[in-house]
């Protein structure tokens, strides 16, 4: 197990997010013509290097809630509301990026909807907004039975994204992360999850058509997928595929992040999702030093990671 997985998770997500922010929304053709190779600033939002977005903000909100004695979805929802309306856990005191589904869910919470019922349930509300901030939850569920892991993952995803497709993406991602926590080989994890996850989901009565939306990672060898076939848009299925493909086809944190980013489009989120896994695999100390040193509120993130580590070590 990593010596400080909480620090790996929070720094891995935040740095990936920050590296991707300046080129968010650029399409693949522009990224291929001028691939990102390292730290950059300004760009899409005209913000300094190291500035992270909603991906990290909501990850840190969840992480803070997890430092309490028990996990309370209502507290998570409260922190999300504080972020959206009072700029809590922002990089620079400003909320400059928020997904439509996430915003609408938080608005529901602010009007009194219970947190676990706030997330969108429509098939069109299957963006990557819960996947991008779910990773700290692995520390809470790592030693629980698989049925409990799924239920808790569903509840925390459903604060913003309640459709079963988004829940499956979060569940797969956390199952992969959990195996990384226990020091397993990334290829062995990938192969084993193909044997474990589909039959487990079937026992829950989840429609085969929903499980099959993840067939590229649950039935195929995604390491053989071409770059052209990997889509960097904000759909939860694509985001899960990008993270796993980027992790399996590279050999370092830096390369995994850049590979995800250079697909274009939702660059910050894809890099955040990939970065959390990559830092768990390789360690936060393998993140390029100039990337870490530029990170906004680095000491605050490290302090939160220490509290989280003490809670779950």
- The gap from C-alpha 257 to its chain's centroid, in whole angstroms, comes to 13
Residue 285 marked in a binding site? no
Kindly report the average pLDDT of the chain as a whole number.
Answer: 97
- Give 123's DSSP letter: G
Contact call for residues 284 and 11 (beta carbons, < 8 A) = yes
222 pLDDT more than 80: yes
Residue with tokens 């991707």: 20
In the chain, where does DSSP find H-type helix?
Answer: 5-20, 28-33, 54-66, 73-86, 100-110, 137-141, 146-157, 164-181, 186-203, 208-212, 215-218, 236-248, 253-261, 267-282, 289-294, 298-312
Check residue 69 and give its pLDDT: 85
CB count in 10 Å sphere of residue 251: 10
What are the pLDDT digits (tens) for 102-137?
A: 999 999 999 999 999 999 999 999 999 999 999 999
pLDDT above 90 coverage of the chain, percent: 98
Percent of all residues in the chain with a pLDDT value above 70, rounded to a whole number: 99
Give tens-digit pLDDT for 171-185: 999 999 999 999 999
pLDDT at 1: 62
**116 DSSP assignment:** G
Domain 5-312, CATH 3.40.50.720 — does that match?
A: no
Q: With bands split at pLDDT 50, 70 and 90, how would you rate the model's confidence at 313?
A: confident
Write the CA distances from 133 to 28, 40, 53, 174, 224, integer angstroms.
Answer: 24, 23, 11, 11, 28
Domain ranges of the chain: 5-312
255 marked among binding-site residues: no
Q: Check residue 3 and give its pLDDT.
A: 83
The pLDDT tens digits for 34-86 are 999 999 999 999 999 999 999 999 999 999 999 998 999 999 999 999 999 99
236: closest CA among 162, 128, 161? 128
User: Is the pLDDT score of 2 beyond 80?
Assistant: no
Question: Residue 59 in contact with residue 272, Cβ under 8 Å?
Answer: yes
Q: Per the annotation, does 290 bind a ligand?
A: no
pLDDT at 64: 98
Residue 210 in this model has a pLDDT that exceeds 70: yes
Measured distance between the N- and C-terminal CA atoms of the chain, rounded to whole angstroms = 10
269 is in an annotated binding site: yes
State the Cα–Cα distance between residues 213 and 37, nearest whole angstrom: 32
Helix pair angle (186-203, 164-181), 10° resolution: 140
Q: Residue 293's CB: how many other CB atoms inside 10 A?
A: 11
């Amino acid at each position: 197990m990593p010596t400080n997985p909480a620090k790996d998770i929070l720094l891995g997500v935040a740095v990936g997010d920050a590296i991707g922010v300046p080129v968010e929304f650029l399409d693949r053709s522009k990224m291929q013509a001028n691939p990102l190779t390292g730290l950059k600033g300004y760009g899409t939002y005209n913000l300094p290097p190291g500035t992270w977005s909603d991906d990290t903000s909501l990850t840190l909100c969840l992480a803070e809630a997890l430092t309490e004695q028990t996990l309370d979805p209502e507290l998570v929802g409260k922190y999300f509301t504080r972020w959206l309306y009072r700029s809590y856990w922002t990089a620079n005191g400003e909320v400059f990026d928020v997904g439509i589904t996430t915003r609408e869910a938080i608005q529901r919470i602010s009007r009194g909807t219970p947190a676990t019922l706030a997330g969108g349930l429509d098939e069109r509300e299957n963006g990557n907004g819960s996947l991008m901030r779910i990773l700290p939850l692995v520390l809470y569920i790592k030693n629980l039975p698989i049925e409990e892991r799924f239920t808790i993952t569903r509840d925390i995803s459903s604060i913003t994204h309640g459709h079963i497709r988004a829940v499956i993406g979060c569940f797969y991602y956390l199952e992969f992360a959990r195996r990384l926590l226990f020091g397993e080989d990334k290829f062995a994890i990938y192969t084993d999850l193909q044997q474990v996850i589909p039959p487990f989901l079937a026992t829950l009565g989840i429609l085969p058509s929903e499980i099959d939306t993840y067939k590229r990672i649950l039935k195929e060898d995604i390491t053989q997928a071409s770059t052209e076939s990997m889509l960097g848009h904000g759909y939860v299925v694509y985001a899960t595929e990008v993270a796993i493909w980027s992790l399996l086809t590279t050999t370092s944190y830096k390369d995994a992040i850049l590979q995800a980013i250079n697909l274009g489009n939702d660059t910050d989120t894809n890099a955040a999702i990939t970065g959390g896994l990559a830092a768990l695999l390789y360690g936060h100390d393998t993140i390029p030093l100039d990337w870490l040193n530029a990170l906004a509120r680095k000491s605050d993130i490290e302090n939160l990671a220490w509290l989280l580590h003490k809670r779950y070590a």
